Structure 1
């Protein structure tokens, strides 16, 4: 990025544009993969009557453990979050220089029995928790077991006897933990199987067999083992590999007796997406795909359940509600004294948290980026920004690109774009554009993300119609060792290296497919 490229772009104003970026449901009785072109990793999907529920990993974002709902396994809406706030540990609050990126809540297991929903999850470095609720909207109550079960796969027999399958430490040794009738303590723990490289265990039962699914990342993808007893002996077969579908998944049945497979795919900078596949049976073994193309997750297939209209998770927001929309999450537990939807109705107000950079800033409001190509626009009132504040909009992940507003001691505003790369030694500045003087109180910021080329661009406008590029293209990437272990996120942020009394007012956020 050399200097600030000034380029007039004729783009439509923000406004209430359609949020539809990707449509899995093709409207002709078929669907295409992925179900959602966004980062919904570690899926577990269950059926309760004619309703389907999908739990997904959220790491340190709060609220945590997102639930989605569908009537046909193809069209999904955001439904609830299981965990309003993570435990009050320093790293979940970004205290004392500590953070919980790449940690927190992941690979949860969702089950339903006798009127109650259960979620088993193991926070990184802590014991396994069992959340339960009669209503999937919550509230959920939690009890903690006395041990850490990696990627816990909860299974409940018709008589209520509950088990957790876990591949301890991802080394392939699969143990079965039997729980007491209240699912509050482990009453038996024994090794039942070995499957080299296994993790993400999930158990279902069909007829006379139990089926144990395991992810084998970067090698076989997904395997299935079957046995007449949960304690084995188990025999194992491959299912799909990373090239033909993905890994970490299982099966869910439909009310009319069909079975459908779901699996997670490592999809590059967008993150990890979920694919859906028809399944047929041969000699009591599940086979993904169709008899004409077995062992592969199809790019397109017939919808497993017909008759339901298109639906999608919420994205755009005019902040007219007194409660944040379910599409939003904070990067860690928020400081609730530093944000408000009621101080100025119709606006989200962010007050700066104390931090020396975006990576350490609390109250960064995140939303999943959408592929394959999308454009987000935010309309901001910057009149409340004070000296030292740095407030703006951009991306967050392995590369975090932000266009932010700041003021000098004389009150003059300027826009500055920088790109931060997350490395093993911490965040470093990869690129920084010269600041741009800006007069006025209303600012639009545009963000274009292209996951077909792994590039993003930021722009700004004074009227939401005539746009000026802020710097050049920046990279989009996914990295589990140094990034957030999530796909690219769109973020609104506001921080200051010193205590400050300024604020940023966000009028609206709009997402649509890129033109």
Structure 2
């Protein structure tokens, strides 16, 4: 039987709604199941976005700082439903601090990648703090990627290929605002010319896009939490600039636009949130006198809260969260706090479990092999089941947050062999100030198995930690603040963290086995 087009669309939307209702609770679902979505598509800290389209697929590259693997890329068919496609950097390079040896690189590391597709390859430019800009290339977005360094550092590089194949990088830094255009040779290995082309006070986060005869330059102005748009008929200018949107009133600051297969354009923009970090909103745009305008003609100049999906017919999707640790590799949702010591963790020593061998550390902030994934809003919760039978005296292993406020429950084995849970709270005050340590309560354990819980409520900007005693969940300590602060902490929103370290130098370290990590967005 053949149904009329309207009936077929209604049936398809109804089926999508039923599918959405039947999905297990994993994370914020922006797809409303009726052909619309609610911003943000990813309710988590995905900062410094760059988004491109290749055929029917969209790709989203984002900053990952010190997390390893680095430079996460996501994939979508509709700009709403995203999956993690992979990471560009299996490990971070640049010195022992990336291995948490002799210091740390929290708040540093990988910033503001720029992703393009050229001559059948994905091409990505990024700059690590204190290092020269690197260009990476891959045939498949999941890799493998091959990378090389240029002879200079381009802050927040905007990689661009013109219609004749010529390659460029636009760059500006917020402490100044001068936009410099770097010309690259065909091999993308050398800068052949550097030319100042524009000036916007405080501008950074440059992105270059061409539409027809116009070149468009998008810049964030962090001091105003605003975005500017500039345009010119030639890359060298002259450029004219307008203010676009801002984070406080209309949607965000750093971002740009991406074309759809049918010729329309859509916008993406980063917005600072005080508890969860920097989220990325997606918005329709329309054109007025060859200027892109965020929003719709009925509500111009702002990102809509709810809007029709740009591409219809795609099923709901989210990045993975829960993990039973029954695979030979870690899920793509996971990242270590720095490069891990691969001899100190395993998914094979005890199949079906994640084993974390305690690493030597002075405390939580300097502990290597802390395994993280993003906290997700508006509310999320994770339960973790642990087997503590392998803990040695002095081991501190458990579940907590990694960020500005680092709160956790650690299982600790005393010298007499008894086990207890201890609450800790460490508040990072920056590189030049001592961290604030808040002592917490403890609870005795009478067995080797325990289930811990961490709740993140970003609407209330509070987190809670508890443990399961029989059938009863018991809080351990008071609620704590969920805080995003670019000047302190990790420069990221709060992350879930599985940790295992030992501060005792003269005793052998043990291990903790993690049976599962189960995530939900249901209260």
Q: TM-score, normalised by structure 1?
A: 0.95
Extract unaligned runs of 5+ from structure 2. Answer: 1-22
Whether the 8 Å CA contact 2:202–2:223 is kept in 1: the answer is: no
The 5 Å alignment of 1:62-211 reads 62-87=68-93, 89-96=95-102, 98-168=103-173, 170-211=175-216
Name the structure, 1 or 2, with higher relative contact order (CA <8 Å, separation 6+).
1
Deviation at 1:428, TM superposition (A): 3.0
Whether the 8 Å CA contact 1:265–1:272 is kept in 2: the answer is: yes
Whether the 8 Å CA contact 1:19–1:316 is kept in 2: the answer is: no
Counterpart CA distance in 2 for 1:367 and 1:50 is 28
Deviation at 1:501, TM superposition (A): 3.2
Question: Does residue 1:504 correspond to 2:512, yes or no?
Answer: yes
What is the DSSP-based 3-state SS (H/G/I as helix, E as strand, rest coil) of the residue aligned with 2:110?
coil
Whether the 8 Å CA contact 1:393–1:402 is kept in 2: the answer is: yes
2:419 is aligned to: 413
Considering only aligned residues, what root-mean-square deviation do their CA atoms show, in Å?
A: 1.2
2:352 is aligned to: 346
Deviation at 1:220, TM superposition (A): 5.7
Deviation at 1:437, TM superposition (A): 1.2
**1:132-159 CA-partner distances (Å, limit 9, x unpaired):** 0111110000010000100000001133
Whether the 8 Å CA contact 2:27–2:318 is kept in 1: the answer is: no
Counterpart CA distance in 2 for 1:170 and 1:200 is 12
Gap change, CA 1:440 and 1:426, over 3 Å in 2: farther
Deviation at 1:510, TM superposition (A): 0.6
Deviation at 1:168, TM superposition (A): 3.8
The 5 Å alignment of 1:306-345 reads 306-345=312-351
1:10 is aligned to: none
**1:237-263 CA-partner distances (Å, limit 9, x unpaired):** 111111201011000000000000000
1:393 is aligned to: 399
1:13 is aligned to: none
Question: Does residue 1:23 correspond to 2:10, yes or no?
Answer: no
Deviation at 1:326, TM superposition (A): 0.4
Deviation at 1:500, TM superposition (A): 2.6
Deviation at 1:430, TM superposition (A): 3.9
Deviation at 1:426, TM superposition (A): 4.8
The 5 Å alignment of 1:177-256 reads 177-219=182-224, 221-242=226-247, 243-256=249-262
Gap change, CA 1:307 and 1:269, over 3 Å in 2: same
Match of 2:298 among 278, 292, 296: 292
Counterpart CA distance in 2 for 1:65 and 1:91 is 18
Whether the 8 Å CA contact 2:359–2:509 is kept in 1: the answer is: no
Counterpart CA distance in 2 for 1:325 and 1:101 is 23
1:494 is aligned to: 500
**1:192-213 CA-partner distances (Å, limit 9, x unpaired):** 0001111000001001100000
The 5 Å alignment of 1:263-278 reads 263-278=269-284
Question: Does residue 1:513 correspond to 2:521, yes or no?
Answer: yes
